[in-house]
Amino acid sequence: MNGSSTLAVNQKEIEDFISQKDLSWVLASGVIEKDLSDSPSKTKVVSKVVYSQGKYIMTYIEGYLSQQINKDEKQRLCVKISGVCSDNTIVILEEELSITILESLCKILEVHEVLPVDRPLSSIKTFEDFARFCIFPFVQFN
């Protein structure tokens, strides 16, 4: 041995890593829409208690598919965020996130910013995973 070593690199692994650096893959893959379409109600709701500005807010993220205007049109993911505050004098307004906002958010978010180190991007297979890792970390109430 001459003191030098070579590193065996799998080109496919490198390409996969580079292509999955941002989260836009999740929306482009259709896994979220498939998960919602497989649901009997075509809707899923994920909840979490969020502490914001000294108050506890039960936050709900609802995912559903858009209505088809014609049979050739693909149903798109729709997301609605709502909440109920522990202080009943505070009203939380419901907000819908358009697919444009979701796509933009996913393009700027890097995988390591939202997923635990031991979870690959391909582990986001359901709407619940998407809400937990890609939406809840950024929910704030003002």
Triad 109, 111, 116: Cα angle to 5°? 125
Q: What is the mean pLDDT of residues 54-77?
A: 83
State the pLDDT at residue 4: 44
Tokens of residue 46, six digits: 């994920």
- pLDDT value at residue 124: 82
Number of residues that this document lists for the chain? 142
Its pTM stands at 0.73
Q: Cα Rg for the chain, rounded, in angstroms?
A: 19
Q: Are 36 and 42 in contact (CB under 8 A)?
A: yes
